[in-house]
Amino acid sequence: MHTNIVTRYGSHPDDVKNYDTQKLRDHFLIEDIFQDDKITGVYSMFDRYIVGGIAPVSKALELETVEQLKAEHFLDRRELGIINVGGSTKVTVDGTDYQLGTKEALYIGSGAKEVVFHPSTEGQAYLYFNSAPAHTSFPTKKVGLDDAEKVELGSMEESNHRVINKLIVNSVVESCQLQMGMTQLKPGSVWNTMPAHTHDRRMEAYFYFDLAETAAVCHYMGQPQETRHIWMKNHQAVLSPAWSIHSGSGTSNYTFIWGMAGENLDYGDMDKVAPTDLR
């Protein structure tokens, strides 16, 4: 077995008010997402979302089923979204090869049986993945950055100038619940998702990358009038329950991947919070 997926239960916002730094990190932060020749991650009880990393170095890694699923194959009742944050690599789905360059995505529909992740021929392959329960099977599809629906938001003056690349969204690829994309901050801009928002219909997970060794992102979570923060480094992910804002400010610019699942596939379904209303 090269796969290790650990279970995390949901948290009530009234309970989270009493979490200290370590407890907050234990429940929401995912620190070591890429481990050599391993598939690791978290099975969250927030919408049964799985967040993880795949790091093939010396051998190809097959997507194994895990105990939590009680299914013969990982994707028997699930869909999978992958974004490559490392060197170019190849993913084989039931015998078909998909070449994934850096920052390219692959959607794999439920029912796929044999999924194999290959090492990169030009560096290290780091495949970040999210998975959600699926009620039907949609076709597997590669989504490059050119295929993304792009939205430019913010401004240099507000330190939040960024481009949102919607990769796995219903205008680009059919999915049951899963939505994923990648937001790139312009040099000099440090704030993501400000003004912040919640969306009670969906949970979300963020994964920060393109950060220098010495840089950090302060990630904000919690109910809008009861916020907390988690200091994060490169290649770390964080869970955001439906009741929580999810926003960050970095010591430099960075890129991050967002992924969501829940009640609808409406990216714009957000309840925005004015910065002056946050507590």
Query: Which option in Zn ion, ligand D54, none does residue 164 bind, with CB closer than 5 to 8 A by kind?
Result: ligand D54
The CA R_g of the chain, rounded to the nearest whole Å, is 18
Contacting ligand D54 (CB under 6 A), which of 3, 120, 183, 236?
183
Site string for Zn ion, 188-227 (x = CB under 5 A): ----------------x-----------------------
Give residues 105-164 in contact with ligand D54 (rule: CB under 6 A): 162, 164
Query: Which option in ligand D54, Zn ion, none does residue 162 bind, with CB closer than 5 to 8 A by kind?
Result: ligand D54
Instruction: Give the shortest CB-48-to-ligand D54 separation in angstroms.
Output: 19
Select 79 or 204, whichever has its Cβ closest to Zn ion. 204
Select 141 or 197, whichever has its Cβ closest to Zn ion. 197
Does residue 69 belong to the site contacting ligand D54 (CB under 6 A)?
no
Instruction: Give the shortest CB-188-to-ligand D54 separation in angstroms.
Output: 15
Does residue 78 belong to the site contacting ligand D54 (CB under 6 A)?
no
Does residue 246 belong to the site contacting ligand D54 (CB under 6 A)?
yes
Give residues 192-221 in contact with ligand D54 (rule: CB under 6 A): 192-193, 199, 204
Instruction: Give the shortest CB-214-to-ligand D54 separation in angstroms.
Output: 23
Q: Would the annotation count 79 as a binding residue?
A: no
Q: Are 230 and 24 in contact (CB under 8 A)?
A: yes
Q: Would the annotation count 197 as a binding residue?
A: yes
Question: What SS3 string covers the chain?
Answer: CCEEEEEECCCCHHHHCCCCHHHHHHHHEECCCCCCCEEEEEEECCCCCEEEEEECCCCCEECCCCHHHCCCCCCCCEEEEEEECCCCEEEEECCEEEEECCCCEEEECCCCCCEEECCCCCCCCCEEEEEEECCCCCCCEEECHHHCEEEEECCCCCCCCEEEEEEECCCCCCCCCCEEEEEEECCCCCEECCCEEECCCEEEEEEEECCCCCCCEEEEEEECCEEEEEEECCCEEEEECCCCCCEEEECCCCEEEEEEEECCCCCCCCEEECHHHCC
Query: Which option in Zn ion, ligand D54, none does residue 192 bind, with CB closer than 5 to 8 A by kind?
Result: ligand D54
Q: Which residues bind Zn ion (CB under 5 A)?
A: 204
Q: Which residues bind ligand D54 (CB under 6 A)?
A: 162, 164, 181, 183, 192-193, 199, 204, 246, 258, 270
